[in-house]
Amino acid sequence: MQEGDIKDLLQSQDQFFKSSSKTSVTERISILKKLKSSIKAHEKDIVEAVYKDFQKPEFEVLTSELFVAYKEINLFIKKIKNWSKPKSVSSAWLNFPSSDKIYHVPWGKILVIAPWNYPFQLAITPVIGAIACGNTVVLKPSEHAPYTADILEKIISEVFEAQQAKVIQGAVETAKLLLEQKWDYVFFTGSVPVGRIVSQQIAKHMTPHTLELGGKNPCIVDASANLDVAAKRICWGKFLNAGQTCIAPDYLLINADIKAEFQEKLISTLKAFYADGTFTDYARLIHEDHYERLTGLLKGQNIIYGGDSEPETNFLEPTLVDSPDFSSTLMEEEIFGPILPVYAYSSFDELETTINTFDKPLSLYVFSERKDFIKRVNESFDFGGGVINDTIVHFVNDKLPFGGVGASGLGNYHGKASFETFTRKKSIVKRKTWLDIPIKYPPYTHVDSFKSFMNLFR
């Protein structure tokens, strides 16, 4: 889409918003139900599209893409009416008599830029929240998942009027053109480097925004952990979607006393997960550039398991790497693929030194049966969200706000947090007219009286 087309679209959307801002909650619920029906009707198409993009297994599409989307729609259908009601708050004494309320109102025109790793769910989930709150939305899906982008465009065009929600496809230049426009809110999911660019670009308009990014998520395995369970849950969370998950464990920190034993359990778990040798239940890397980047990161590393690759299909086997140097390219930034560095630690001080080497992570995981150890980990490190004795499962609880901190993200969403993200608070004081206390009006003859009144607050 050319710059002129984008500006024409936004102009028409501007005009539409003047009336759409008055869309009732009941009308929004009807739209959400229509969206849910369309997604259901296209379930098979969505599964096929994501598979065509990078061979993501059907089970992973159902669980990590469709299930999450359905949960978000159902929650908004059930809760949006109650969430949208004005909330009364106690009045200030100086405004007596009055009634005070907080209204949640839509921002207006929202731009959603979605990533390729969960190309359906990470695109449609913020759209659900934005539309439910009364906003208009332009969705820019990832050009690296073109089949999923096509089905997203088909669903959005079926459900919404063009001025209410629109999919704009394109690559980097299209994203740049979109970011040059003036938005009321921008919601971006993607890498840390691109997130910085997005933030800088929209700063000239002082646009409020959410950045869902990533980072080097540590996973700690204490000597007291249930090692059999830990091995399964870590391998599942890490190698789901071929490791292309922003909250996947990025590296393991294993108590030195159990490192050798736990490495063997990781290896035996991976052999059990993918016993057929064909990796039919295992996604591929999204494109050739990502394949070249990840296989390049393995050069010169001490691979203790895996490492096989196939450039024709962008396949990289789940791979364990022993203690790569922290200055290596493998540890410079988020791996975002099926490579898991494994380290030993001997003390909590060593844990702190290692984890604090990197920016604040999006997620942190700890496997332990010791309450004092778990508490110390939680209190010692700053991260977006975490799990004790599992990985990545905090993402699926819509009662938990999801987001990062520092370089791993800004803002959060999911469930009620999405409602709070896609609305802004408008404060209204309604004064009564049956009493009008004259003390605030000139001439100020009541200074001494007010000084006595202020003593209540001094």
Catalytic positions are 212, 246
Side-chain half-sphere exposure of 248, counting CA atoms within 13 A: 23
Q: Give dist(CA 43, CA 94) in Å, integer.
A: 57
Determine contact, residues 316/294, Cβ cutoff 8 Å: yes
Identify the sign of the CA torsion 48, 49, 55, 60: negative
Alpha helix locations (H) across 139-257?
A: 146-159, 172-180, 192-203, 227-239
Q: Are β-strands 185-189 and 209-212 bridged in parallel, bridged antiparallel, or unpaired?
A: parallel
How large is the C-alpha radius of gyration of the chain? 26
Residue that the structure tokens 């660019």 belong to: 197
Strand partners, 186: 111, 209
**Cβ–Cβ contacts within 10 Å for residue 53, how many?**
22
The type of residue at 357 is T
What's the token pair of residue 194?
A: 């691109």
What string of DSSP letters covers 77-131? HHHHHHHHS-EEEPPPGGG-SEEEEEEEEE-SEEEEE--SSSTTHHHHHHHHHHH
Task: Give the side-chain half-sphere CA count within 13 A for 216.
Answer: 20
